[in-house]
Amino acid sequence: MGHLLMVESWVGSMSRLLPRAIREDGHEFTFLTRDLHHYLRSAPEGVAHPLLGACNVLTAETNATDALLPHVEKLHEVFGFDGVLTSCDYYLPTVARLAEHLGLPGPSADSVARACRKDETRRALEDAGVPGPRFAVCTDWAAVVSSAREIGYPLVLKPVDLCAGMYVRRVDDEVALARAYRDLDGFPVNARGQRRVTSVLLEELLEGPEVSVETVSFAGTAHVVGVTDKSIGGAPAFVETGHMFPARLAPGQAEAAADTALAALKGLGLDQVVAHTEIKLTPDGPRVVEVNPRPAGNRITELVRHVTGIDLAAACVDVALGRAPELGPRATGVDSAAIGFLLPEEEGVLEGFDGAEALEECPGVLEVQFAKAGTAVRPADSNNTYLGHVMAADPEGGAARERVEALLSAVGPRVARR
């Protein structure tokens, strides 16, 4: 049995999936956070938050990595940790540094730092010859304007250190560029109290369908678990509206996407990590959007599990412990699984949903989850603004996406305008 140190977590599904995977494999964990109430506020009603299943819940300033290293070293002397992990993007570099400092399994801290900074990812992949968009890293408005003209509209403006699609915007002209730059500039501190890097990334707008490649790297070998498709909405934002696993692709496209993802992992120097690499299938071939050195979010790990039986959360635990993960697929009776998200279109207070009552009884439905009445809503501008989701499976074909879309089309949110 292993003892893991979990440093912070997402408050969404992975905050439940990782503790479950740890317990089911017979391990235990200590949870370390700077603000326990951040998680208690998101706990399911009437149910203890799974993170509270930790054998120890400790507090420390997790945003001050240099001070955290000696503190965790002392904890390690007491508890004897066998691995350290997190599901939260903002703490992946911290966890990698802790693992290196304590001599525990994990990816190199430098490789994770590169992957978690979109500007450094772009530079590293360009140096490695991995295809991506034309880009520019800008430190002020003058550089943004000049670089935008050089790259050409339309383009994409991105923060270099946020996630969930926050403040990622398509811009078609200088007026839209100024608006996107101003909005991002007005968000100097992220949701975890960390001051943001002020640089922005401008990228050529890539055309074509988007997929993600789910991989597990261990002992120098990267294993491709599969390719997930994704749909995007919420323009000019890029909000993920749904996913299906496995992706329905033309012959050769899945292999090309997988090869590009593996090249990206190599270019960044990533090993000992479960990764989620987003790829655009452009007319000129696959292009890397970003590389995330952690399991996929938005319940993609559950889509993979329903279809293949492979548990990426459990693989994340195994890799953190330095153990070879179980990646052999097994028959599940599911040929494809998909999830669709309901996006708010107006600002107000949620009163309820029409047409949602009977969804759980529909054939093939795996999950149904919707926001509670009284929730304040606004038009979707990131992956943090969903009103709910439906997940469904197709046992005999690749039609799970169509099934989910049909189910969601019958659901209508009732929003009282403010």
| Residue 12, pLDDT score | 79
Q: What is the CATH number of the domain that holds 159?
A: 3.30.1490.20
**Is it the case that residue 220 has pLDDT exceeding 70?**
yes
Q: Among residues 170, 204, 238, which one ends one of the domains?
A: 204
Residues 173 and 271 in one domain: no
Residues 307 and 219 in one domain: yes
CA distance 395 to 399: 9
Q: What is the CATH number of the domain that holds 86?
A: 3.40.50.20
8 Å CB contact between 196 and 188: yes
Digit-coded pLDDT (tens) for 224-276:
999 999 999 999 999 999 999 999 998 899 999 999 999 999 999 999 999 99
8 Å CB contact between 225 and 304: yes
Q: What is the CATH number of the domain that holds 349?
A: 3.30.470.20
The pair of structure tokens assigned to 204 is 């050529």
Asked if the structure places residue 112 within a domain, the reply is no
Asked if the structure places residue 122 within a domain, the reply is no
Considering the chain, what percentage of its residues have pLDDT values greater than 70? 99
Residues 319 and 356 in one domain: no
Structural Rg of the chain based on CA atoms: 21
Q: How many domains does the chain have?
A: 4
Asked if the structure places residue 127 within a domain, the reply is no
Digit-coded pLDDT (tens) for 3-29:
999 999 988 788 889 999 999 999 999
Asked if the structure places residue 123 within a domain, the reply is no
Residues 315 and 352 in one domain: no
Residues 220 and 324 in one domain: yes
Digit-coded pLDDT (tens) for 328-340:
999 999 999 999 9
Domain that holds residue 343: 335-418
Asked if the structure places residue 366 within a domain, the reply is yes
Residues 326 and 212 in one domain: yes
Asked if the structure places residue 261 within a domain, the reply is yes
CA distance 107 to 109: 6
Provide the H-helix boundaries in 154-284: 174-185, 253-268
Residues 235 and 312 in one domain: yes
Residues 318 and 394 in one domain: no
pTM: 0.96
How many CB atoms sit inside 10 A of residue 147's CB? 18
Q: Among residues 178, 204, 230, which one ends one of the domains?
A: 204
Q: Are strands 28-33 and 365-370 parallel, antiparallel or unpaired?
A: unpaired
Residues 325 and 341 in one domain: no
Residues 242 and 325 in one domain: yes
**Is it the case that residue 398 has pLDDT exceeding 90?**
no
| Residue 343, pLDDT score | 94
3 state SS of 4: strand
Asked if the structure places residue 166 within a domain, the reply is yes
Q: Among residues 59, 89, 104, which one ends one of the domains?
A: 104
CA distance 342 to 412: 9
* Structure confidence at residue 50 as a pLDDT band (50, 70, 90): confident
> Backbone phi, then psi, for 282, in 5-degree steps?
-85, 165
Mean pLDDT of 119-128: 98
Residues 320 and 217 in one domain: yes
* Structure confidence at residue 306 as a pLDDT band (50, 70, 90): very high
Asked if the structure places residue 153 within a domain, the reply is yes
Residues 143 and 93 in one domain: no
**Is it the case that residue 51 has pLDDT exceeding 90?**
no
